[in-house]
Amino acid sequence: MNLVASKKIQKLTTSIFTEVSNRKQEAIKNGMDVIDLSVGSPDFQPPSFVVDALVKYANDTSRYGYMLKGMPEFNEAVCYFYKERYSVDLDPSKEVLQLMGSQDGLAHLATAMIDPGDYVLVPDPGYPIYEASVTLAGGIIYPMPLLQENQYLPQLDQIPLEIAKKARMMIISYPGNPVTALADKGFFEKVIEFAKLHNILVVHDFAYSELIFDDHPQISFMSIPGAKEVGIEFNSLSKTFNMAGCRIGYAIGNEQALQILAALKSNIDYGIFYPIQKAAEVALTSDFTSLNMQKREYEKRRDTLMSGLAKSGWKVPKSPATMFIWAQIPVGWTSRKFAFELIEKAGVAVIPGDAFGELGEGYVRIALVQPTEVLAEAAERINKFLC
């Protein structure tokens, strides 16, 4: 039997995360001790009250059936969280949709919204699922350059009119991944105006909403007047409450867009395990003390790594948010050569920037997913590698 992948699958590249993992394992086999700063999987534990809730409801054997969709209590908890943290009012019955993690929703949204030949405005650099989801839906990607000289904000006035007229969706993310920039209200207002003018659905990925540092404001796209008319926002409990393996998140905002996504999901999955939903409900309605402590710890990690790298003369911009540092590599390297040799010769794993788009070439993404002492050791290894 000779099996051939579909043309859509053939357009996708092998996950760089898998390739980096394979190279890391090869280095370990060769005797190298590797510090893994590649995948953005939190190393913090979820709050104890989240674990307690999960255990409590998992012991109820009557709760192992299909859930089909999110419980009303979960939707209400999301509304509470958004009101408390971002001053956003939501209708729990119409403006909240539970997801199996925000990536689940992002992966399926294009299939639900895009027909073959439709254009989607996608950030470059951007998280890989943005481009992959459009490719699988048969859409056409129009990259929006995110450049340092523009504060990593897309220049909407530079998008050709003929492209804007054909575009069905625009994907943005602030704080971003891999680019860790923030957007202000003024930028979001321009996005809303642009979307209304061209009838474009705005998709805002807000997965790092609680990892914003140095007293910068936490701005939800949904807090801007008019946002619900043109867009939806994805968020997750993975980074906020360290529940990455639980696979639970949500989308909020435009009722019609959420209904369309929900219609697709009703044909794909049967909902999230009841105990996970209850644990998420507890997390979203907690006193949020753990969030502030966690944010301060990530700030310390960022500062530790940055100061360590500066000793070799590699000065990287101060990330204002997320669990990553987006660093321009020294002259003379490609992103992949730098990242792969860093694993093999220094025992530090990072992700090459070109994995996130053409404009990611010349950068690497470094994840702050190790304690400060380990990050200090990683900086020392990198410094020796560079010297």
Residue 205 placed within a domain: yes
Tokens linked to 191: 């996005």
Name the amino acid, one letter, at 200: I
Confidence check: pLDDT of 74 > 80: yes
**Number of domains the chain contains:** 2
Q: Are residues 171 and 297 in the same domain?
A: no
For residue 387, the model assigns a pLDDT of 85
Q: Are 202 and 193 within 8 A, CB to CB?
A: no
CATH number, residue 230: 3.40.640.10
For residue 312, the model assigns a pLDDT of 84
Residue 279 placed within a domain: yes
**Per-residue pLDDT tens for 326-381?**
999 999 999 999 999 999 999 999 999 999 999 999 999 999 999 999 999 999 99
Residue 356 placed within a domain: yes
Last residue in a domain, options 284, 319, 343? 284
Residue 1 placed within a domain: no
Q: Are residues 183 and 327 in the same domain?
A: no
**Per-residue pLDDT tens for 9-64?**
888 776 788 899 999 999 999 999 999 999 889 999 999 999 999 999 999 999 99
Long-range contacts formed by 238-241: CB under 8 A, 24+ apart: 238/42, 238/101, 238/102, 238/207, 239/40, 239/42, 239/207, 239/208, 239/210, 239/211, 239/323, 240/209, 240/210, 240/283, 240/291, 241/46, 241/47, 241/50, 241/280, 241/283, 241/290
Q: Are residues 378 and 279 in the same domain?
A: no
Q: Are residues 186 and 117 in the same domain?
A: yes
Q: Are 97 and 251 within 8 A, CB to CB?
A: yes
**Per-residue pLDDT tens for 201-240?**
999 999 999 999 999 999 999 999 999 999 999 999 999 9
Last residue in a domain, options 258, 284, 310? 284
Residue 358 placed within a domain: yes
Q: Are residues 38 and 88 in the same domain?
A: no
Q: Are residues 94 and 19 in the same domain?
A: no
Cα–Cα distance between 299 and 47 in angstroms, integer? 19
CATH number, residue 24: 3.90.1150.10
The mean predicted confidence, pLDDT, of the chain is 96
Cα–Cα distance between 387 and 346 in angstroms, integer? 12
Q: Are residues 294 and 279 in the same domain?
A: no
**Per-residue pLDDT tens for 237-260?**
999 999 999 999 999 999 999 999
Q: Are residues 221 and 332 in the same domain?
A: no
Cα–Cα distance between 186 and 369 in angstroms, integer? 32
What percent of the chain is predicted at pLDDT more than 90?
92
Residue 202 placed within a domain: yes
For residue 14, the model assigns a pLDDT of 66
Three-state SS annotation for 78-116: HHHHHHHHHCCCCCCCCCEEEECCHHHHHHHHHHHHCCC
Q: Are residues 309 and 171 in the same domain?
A: no
For residue 55, the model assigns a pLDDT of 97
What percent of the chain is predicted at pLDDT more than 70?
99
Q: Are residues 209 and 191 in the same domain?
A: yes
Cβ atoms < 10 Å from Cβ of 334: 14
State which residues form the domain around 167. 49-284
Residue 2 placed within a domain: no
Last residue in a domain, options 284, 316, 341? 284
Cβ atoms < 10 Å from Cβ of 287: 9
**Alpha-carbon separation of residue 260 from 18, 115, 159 (angstroms):** 32, 13, 27
For residue 16, the model assigns a pLDDT of 81
**CA-based Rg of the chain, rounded to a whole angstrom?**
21
**Per-residue pLDDT tens for 305-324?**
999 999 988 989 999 999 99
Cα–Cα distance between 72 and 96 in angstroms, integer? 10
Burial of 260 (0-12, 13-18, 19+ CB in 10 A): middle
Encode 133-150: b = buried (16+ Cβ within 10 Å), e = exposed: bbbbbbbbbbbbbbeeee
Q: Are residues 34 and 56 in the same domain?
A: no
Q: Are residues 132 and 39 in the same domain?
A: no
